[in-house]
Chains A and B, each alone.
Chain A
Amino acid sequence: MPFIVIGITSGSLYGLAGLGLVLTYRTSGVFNFAHGALAATSAYLFFTLHVTWGLPWPVAALVVVAGFGSVAGVTLERLARGLASTRQATIVVGTVGLMLLLQGALFRGYGVERRSFSDFLPATTAFRISGVAVSWSELITVAVGVAGFVGLFLFLRRTRLGVAMQAVVAAPDLLAQTGASPTRVRVISWIISSAFAAVTGILIAPGLGLDAVVLSALVVQAFGAVAIGRFSSLPLTYLGGLVIGLLAAIGTKYLSAHPPLNGIPAVVPFLVLIVVMLFTPPRLLPKGAGRQEGAMARVGRLSPRLAMGGTVLGAVGLVALPALVGSRLPAYSTGLVFVVLFLSLSLLTRISGQISLCHAAFAAVGAVTFSQLTASSGWPWPLAIIGAGVVTAPVGALLALTATRLSGIYLALATYGFGLLMENVIFSTWLMFGNHASGLVGRRPEFGPIHANSDTAFYYVLLAVVGVSCAVLVAVQRARLGRFLRALADSPIALSTMGLGLHVTRVLVFSLSAFFAGVAGGLYMSQTTRLGAPSFNSLNSLLYLAVVLAAGAFSGFVTSAFLAAAALVVVPNYLTSVTVEVQSLLFGAAALAAALVADGRVDWSVVGARWSAWAQRTIEGSRELRRRSPVRDRELQAHAAAGGAET
């Protein structure tokens, strides 16, 4: 029975982390994806204080939990307050950005390699239950978990501040009228939550080792606990943590010898999460903060002539590129691949108001399909690329069907869970990457006698695919479906009372998005010629959403895909001194900043309209021209009026 002891020990910690998540989600409406990253940061700080500086562990723990907990709590409350009034997708991106930022900082400060971290609590046997030794360390861990839970429970029930904390969930304005400050109450809840995360991180690190990614993924375990508590009940959340811990321990014991099932213990929390969400009516789940409605802040649209000019200029630049960049061309080719991926993600998030945190998994399906079709089945390249999309589309449809009633944070979590499920269970099977350590092979195209093997030739092939993808997606946007998608983002309720079958619309958009993600996956395989499962891990999905939303904050649909691809792929190729770790830090910061600034604070539609007006005046210049074209002038006024009214 030793695995039961292990299960209860770790489950107790998952429960503790889950309690912190629920507490802040309920008081501020912001679901903190960075909760695990807080735990990781605490563990590293504790390591520095205890191991490097040699402080006794109780002192070090106290400093980290109280000190870091308070600082993080106060900071997070500020961030949450800033995010709460934005769109739901933006809130997700904001906390995901924070997570990437913290991970990047830890990588930078402590290096990427996992460090072993010996147990600081006494590992000697405390007592035995039916022959199983329970160590002091395990006993203390469980005791801390129980104490945290009971303490929080009593605090909420018995103290004035705790009651105020319950009140802030129900009616913050009413609470404000009683003289208590909702902000202060929220600060306290964030401090408690951060302190719990710190405790979890410190206690769990000796078992897992110091690894920023692994420790951040702790939040995944907490998600399951939170789901069992239906995002609101503290006792059920703590219990949920224990259940998750036990299931994972049992799973590890019985499944570890049976690949691919040995991936299941890692995704137990998400299996639980998905099951709970499938069988819980959405009205029973608490509403998070954030506007549900509202497509991305409208970017002032350029006049048709300017837009056309920009497009032509951009196209000419892209065609001339191989002559200009020399040996850096492959980076640009990969950039083009990501343009397709980001267009597909943008269609979901920017146009339709949906969220996907599993785009890397979609791309992986496409990549594998492409590789199989070209290598094993000998399909011609163009058919294999389309095949990659066609095979991926039903995966998107399936996801849309299962998550059809979910929106906002719940959709985000369900898609993230789906991505993790794919990564941990399906990727390693024969269906996908199998156990090829070096990955699968991707071919370059041959058109009859013409081989596009060279980087330059293949660049043009990619450019053509990007062009077609842009054209198709822009056409879809302008067609009837595009109107429905924007309407879906603005007000799903109104749309459903008009007779539109929203399930079908969502299945359509997820299929379409998955199709292009699959195509992008195939292209990626073909561009790099060899890719393995690690290129498609779930962390990438988070990164993609962050980059797309950050770029989308100040540019149009197509432009933002190019910008995002440039930022993610091309620019780092030039800044070789900037390591991958720093990239995570930079992108995290950018996503967080974009989430805080772009959506709501700065009205980019006004900036866009002004810029557009300015450009118009400069280019078209003379008054004569304007007199000849009164229509355009009126358009300009309408833009200005629209922008002005939106502020």
Chain B
Amino acid sequence: MSDSDDATGLEVRGLSVRYGGHLAVDGVNLTAPVGRLTGLIGPNGAGKTSIFNACSGLLRPSDGRVLLFDEDVTRRSPAARARRGLGRTFQRMELFGSMTVAENLTVGREAGLAGSNPLRQLTGGRRERRAVRAAVVEALEVCGINDLADRPAGSLSTGQRRLVELARAYAGDYRLLLLDEPSSGLDRTESERFGQILQSIVAERGIGILLVEHDMVLVMSTCEYLFVVDFGCLIFEGTPAETGASDLVRAAYLGEEEVGELVGSTGHEEAGR
């Protein structure tokens, strides 16, 4: 906390989440700095989404702290966290189905601007309106969905919806994004394109992304650093190569053949060391 550098991004310390008698997340520590694509992987039911919900404030952790840009936000509302620069997407997509794609993106930007100020919820000034429009155009451009702008979000295919949700989060001008399985339901080409978009967002905007993902190709090719959870505990952290080489991670999650295929020679070299 001595140097309050934005680079710290999101920091989770000793986070535990309890559902009744079941401890879903047990003392997890992880960091997602800005300017980096960080991955959070693990088998189904390992507690990834619970960690996400605790980070974004939808869930109250039973123990531990969530720091956002060096500020303790553990007791803050989801909206307050969003206004401090934390955006997210959902595993089960939460688009505004009755609105057009452009309107979805507009709300994505305006929600943060309006916050809890009743007057600003009513309407925005001329300059603000122009800024919102620019942000929407840019988000449409970056995510390559210009052609969908006037379509109702409820009528889109899964792949398109994933892109719209990403674009909406992008338009929100967050410094840190939590993406919950953004590529589930996408085919190989769509997911490749998705990975490229993510990388370009991080490179150009300098924001941080924390990614929960089951698509190992996407994770291994885009993330710079990985956290692996199993049964609510953090069992490994390291670069994709180190992760692929870890026997522990293989046993818990990746399995044999898939890893060899994905990480290739690097993984085996690291393992040999």
Contacts and interface: CB of A to CB of B under 8 A. Distances in A.
A502 B108 CA distance: 14
Given A484-B121, A505-B121, A508-B122, A491 B94 contact: yes
Contacts of A508: 118, 121-122
Interface string B116-140: 1110011110000000000000000
B121 A498 contact: no
A121 B13 CA distance: 69
B79 A490 contact: no
B210 interface: no
Interface stretch (B26-34, B96-104, B194-202, B228-236): B96-104
B7 interface: no
Interface stretch (B37-45, B80-88, B245-253): B80-88
A329 interface: no
B99 A483 contact: yes
Contacts of A486: 96, 98-99, 103
B46 interface: no
B70 to A, nearest CB: 19
Interface in A288-303: 293-295, 298
A294 B79 contact: no
B222 interface: no
B74 interface: no
A491 B107 contact: no
B111 interface: yes
A143 interface: no
Contacts of B156: 645
A481 interface: yes
A527 B156 CA distance: 49
Interface string B57-94: 11000000000000000000111111100011010001
B213 interface: no
A281 to B, nearest CB: 10
Contact of B116 (A476, A493, A501, A642): A501
Interface residues of B, number: 43
A336 to B, nearest CB: 27
A479 interface: yes
B117 A487 contact: no
B115 interface: yes
Nearest to A490: B96
A633 interface: no
B103 A504 contact: no
Given A486-B96, A491-B96, A498 B87 contact: yes
Contacts of B81: 497
Given A298-B98, A494-B94, A500 B122 contact: no
A293 B154 CA distance: 12
B116 A503 contact: yes
Contacts of A504: 116-118, 121
A499 B152 contact: no
B114 A484 contact: yes
B221 to A, nearest CB: 27
Contacts of A501: 79, 114-117, 121
Contacts of B56: 497
A483 B106 CA distance: 9
A646 B153 CA distance: 10
Contacts of A491: 94-97
B90 A494 contact: yes
A315 interface: no
A646 B121 contact: no
B155 interface: yes
Interface in B16-35: none
Contact of A498 (B98, B122, B152, B172): B172
A481 B168 CA distance: 18
B208 interface: no
Contacts of B77: 496
B111 A499 contact: yes
A481 B111 contact: no
Nearest to A293: B97
Contacts of B117: 501, 504
B9 interface: no
A71 interface: no
Contacts of B124: 480
Contact of B121 (A294, A480, A490): A480
Given A504-B117, A508-B118, 17 more contacts: A298-B152, A479-B122, A480-B123, A484-B114, A487-B111, A493-B58, A493-B90, A494-B90, A495-B111, A496-B78, A497-B78, A497-B81, A498-B108, A499-B83, A504-B121, A507-B118, A641-B155
14 contacts: A480-B114, A481-B123, A483-B110, A487-B96, A487-B111, A491-B95, A493-B58, A493-B90, A493-B94, A499-B111, A499-B114, A501-B115, A508-B122, A646-B154
The 3 tightest CB contacts between A and B, nearest first, are A501-B116, A499-B82, A498-B111
